Amino acid sequence: MTEITSLIRLRISAHDAHYAGDLVDGAKMLQLFGDVATELLIRSDGDEGLFVAYDSVEFLAPVRAGDFIEATGRIVSMGKTSRKMVFEARKVIVPAGVAGQPSACDVLPEPIVVCRASGTCVVPAACQRNIR
């Protein structure tokens, strides 16, 4: 099987902040993983499919408004209708916190892994378009 991967990158907005200190709810990372999973299924089967379950979710570092997050995923195994996937979200840019420069940001020398997960999606056989 040719490896199928997806990457999305976005800036977390102030609207996403849910807690004090501009902290973002962990569910935001799962939302990103859902978008990555959808792209993976479209690339593998030509259909959006359905996310069935997460097997594992680890929240490893805080995410705050203004952070740039890269969410990646790949299909690690394929059954007749199921697709096992792994995901990782990394913080790659953060607000610099420079007094008098509210728009200053820093590119991190090394991305910080903020979340990892694995899960299973299903594409019903009748919906598979065998585009791989």
pLDDT by residue (tens digit) across 50-106? 999 999 999 999 999 999 999 999 999 999 999 999 999 999 999 998 889 988 999
User: What CATH number does the domain containing 114 carry?
Assistant: 3.10.129.10
Task: Determine how β-strand 82-95 pairs with β-strand 17-19.
Answer: unpaired
Amino acid at 32: L
Instruction: Examine residue 132 and state whether it is found in any structural domain, yes or no.
Output: no
Both tokens of residue 12?
A: 């977390």
Q: How confident is the model at residue 131 (pLDDT cuts 50, 70, 90)?
A: low
Distance of CA 59 to the CA centre of its chain: 12
State how many domains the chain has.
Answer: 1
Q: What is the pLDDT of residue 132?
A: 58
Whether 2 shows a pLDDT value over 90: the answer reads no
Q: Which range of residues forms the domain containing residue 77? A: 5-123
**At which residue do the structure tokens 């997460």 appear?**
54
In a domain, 131, yes or no: no
pLDDT above 80: residue 1: no
Which pLDDT score, from 0 to 100, does residue 14 have? 92
